[in-house]
């Protein structure tokens, strides 16, 4: 019997050998990364992501990688940015920074605060979710209108921005003091969402801002604060609410309703990066790979309103499902330098000045 493979089978055998070699090399690299992470013992994650959402990820990570503890701290997006910059100046920054304030994350990366990372997990992401191999999109989350289901008639629930404008024009007294949105000077997420809204439809945004000013809108630093007001009836409608948190709250509280506007719905991606001065860099790489892995993405997508960025997860967890739901209204916010437009000091100052003059006009 010949010891040589038939000519037709040789390419197949060669391909199999290459796959086995690549798989073995990847396994060796993963083992080496885990061993280095064990020596570091921990990973410090600072995030503007509710710990309830992160808890399944943390639990799964610590089960998969015993010997590497996760120190997780949930912060307001603006506070997260300011604290990271201050701690970086002292060499005390977190290993991982994970936030929904996409513009601030991109600015930190652009300013040299991140380090690059390439792995099988980062390679599995779509191109739009990776910037400079340093900033990584981890979710798709819609921006919503939230409302009190018990106090607002179904016929009055606005399903587009134009309907919200019309509702406020027709019933100004009913909604006086009954609206809520982010305060962009204190909420990093709020600043990003409002300025992206301006870029999406400046005429409608400023008309809404004028209507908010006439009705006396409460401006708040957090999504939780808005949803608490809506649930209690102190507010009837919340505008530009982070849809993932609103849908999670609606899942638990029947008083909360959520609308994804039919004319356009902004969709953000929570960005993560490894800090350049990470004190536990290997543990940080291990955590980021876990977050971006198929298993990590599926754990994230278990929370209502969170959709995976990877394409190789079940259909109901994938971004394709959100695209299907929204159709032509789907407006993803791209990751890249364009996010920093309104972080220019002059543009930021002018936006905040116009916002405050519009919402809180002088008597």
pLDDT of res. 29: 65
**Token couple for 245:** 């948190």
Q: Is the same domain home to 147 and 174?
A: yes
Mean pLDDT (whole number) for 238-245: 96
User: Are residues 123 and 237 located together in one domain of the fold?
Assistant: no
Structure tokens at 290: 């876990």
The band of 305, judged by pLDDT with boundaries at 50, 70 and 90, is confident
Q: Which domain holds residue 135?
A: 18-140+269-329
DSSP state of 254: T
In the block, residue with structure tokens 């013992």: 41
C-alpha span between 95 and 118 (Å, rounded)? 16
| Residue 7 falls inside a structural domain | no
Contact 73, 45 (CB under 8 A): yes
Q: Is residue 29 part of a domain?
A: yes
State yes or no: pLDDT of 300 exceeds 50.
Answer: yes
Examine the pLDDT at 56 and tell me if it is beyond 60.
yes
What is the CB neighbour count within 10 angstroms for residue 250? 22
On whether both 202 and 244 belong to a single domain, the answer is yes
pLDDT at 255: 97
Residues 221 and 96 in one domain: no
For residue 3, being part of any structural domain is answered with no
For the chain, the average pLDDT equals 91
Query: How far apart are alpha carbons 273 and 257 in whole angstroms?
Result: 33
Question: Do 205 and 301 reside in the same domain of the chain?
Answer: no
Domain-located, residue 219: yes
pTM of the predicted protein model: 0.86
- Residues 294, 199 within the same domain: no
Q: Are residues 184 and 244 in the same domain?
A: yes
Give the β-pairing of 69-74 and 96-99: unpaired
| 98, containing H or E segment | strand 96-99
* Closest to 164 (Cα-Cα) out of 149, 138, 146: 146
| pLDDT confidence of residue 304 | 86
DSSP, collapsed to helix, strand or coil, labels residue 131 as strand
Q: Are residues 257 and 147 in the same domain?
A: yes
How far apart are the C-alpha atoms of 184 and 197, rounded to whole Å?
A: 12
Section 323-334 average pLDDT: 90
In a domain, 283, yes or no: yes
Number of domains in the chain: 2
pLDDT digits (tens, 9 = 90+) for 68-113: 999 999 998 989 999 999 999 999 999 999 999 999 999 999 999 9
Q: Is 39 helix (H, G, I), strand (E, B) or coil?
A: helix
pLDDT at 9 over 80: no
Share of the chain above pLDDT 90, in %: 82
In a domain, 8, yes or no: no
Dihedral angle at the C-alpha atoms of 154, 155, 157, 163, nearest 10 degrees? 170
Within this chain, do residues 262 and 166 fall inside the same structural domain, yes or no? Answer: yes
Give me the half-sphere count of Cα atoms (radius 13 Å) on the Cβ side of residue 363. Answer: 0
Regarding whether 299 and 210 lie in a shared domain, the answer is: no
Say if 81 falls within a structural domain: yes
CATH number of 43's domain: 3.40.190.10
Mark whether 120 and 157 lie in a shared domain. Answer: no
SS3 314: coil
pLDDT at residue 27, as a whole number? 57
- pLDDT tens digit string along 129-162? 999 999 999 999 999 999 999 999 999 999 999 9
pLDDT per position as a tens digit, 180-224: 999 999 999 999 999 999 999 999 999 999 999 999 999 999 999
Domain membership flag for residue 131? yes
Compare 125 and 16 and report the one with higher pLDDT.
Answer: 125
E-strand spans in 9-68?
A: 42-47
Instruction: Convert the pLDDT of each residue in 19-45 to its tens digit.
Output: 444 444 445 668 899 999 999 999 999
| Beta bridge partner(s), residue 72 | 45
Helix (H, G, I), strand (E, B) or coil at 277: coil
In three-state secondary structure terms, 263 is coil
Q: Judge if 28 and 101 occupy the same domain.
A: yes
């Amino acid at each position: 019997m010949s010891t040589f493979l038939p000519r037709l089978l040789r390419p197949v055998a060669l391909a199999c050998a290459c796959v086995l070699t690549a798989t073995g090399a990847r396994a060796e690299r993963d083992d080496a990364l885990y061993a280095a992470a064990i020596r570091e013992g921990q990973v410090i994650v600072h995030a503007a992501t509710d710990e309830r959402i992160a808890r399944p990820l943390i639990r799964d990570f610590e089960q998969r990688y015993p010997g590497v503890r996760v120190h997780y701290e949930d912060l307001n997006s603006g506070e997260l940015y300011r604290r990271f910059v201050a701690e970086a100046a002292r060499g005390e920054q977190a290993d991982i920074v994970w936030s929904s304030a996409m513009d601030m994350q991109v600015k930190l990366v652009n300013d040299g605060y991140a380090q690059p990372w390439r792995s099988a997990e980062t390679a599995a992401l779509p191109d739009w979710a990776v910037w400079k191999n340093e900033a990584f999109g981890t979710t798709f989350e819609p921006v919503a209108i939230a409302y009190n289901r018990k106090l607002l008639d179904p016929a009055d629930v606005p399903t587009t921005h134009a309907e919200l404008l019309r509702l406020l024009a027709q019933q100004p007294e009913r909604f006086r003091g009954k609206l809520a949105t982010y305060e962009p000077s204190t909420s990093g997420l709020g600043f990003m969402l409002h300025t992206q809204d301006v870029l999406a439809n400046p005429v409608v945004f400023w008309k809404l801002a004028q209507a908010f000013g006439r009705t006396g809108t409460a401006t708040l630093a957090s999504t939780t604060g808005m949803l608490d007001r809506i649930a209690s009836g102190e507010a009837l409608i919340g505008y530009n609410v982070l849809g993932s948190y609103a849908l999670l709250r609606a899942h638990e509280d029947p008083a909360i309703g959520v609308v994804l506007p039919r004319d356009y719905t902004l969709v953000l991606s929570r960005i993560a990066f490894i800090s350049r001065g990470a004190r536990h860099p290997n543990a940080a790489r291990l955590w980021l790979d876990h977050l971006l892995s198929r298993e990590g993405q599926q754990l994230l997508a278990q929370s209502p309103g969170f959709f995976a960025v990877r394409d190789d997860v079940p259909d109901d967890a994938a971004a394709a499902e959100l695209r299907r739901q929204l159709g032509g209204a789907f407006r993803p916010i791209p990751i890249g330098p364009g996010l920093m437009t309104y972080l220019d000091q002059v543009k930021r100052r002018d936006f905040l000045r116009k916002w405050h003059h519009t919402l809180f006009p002088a008597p």
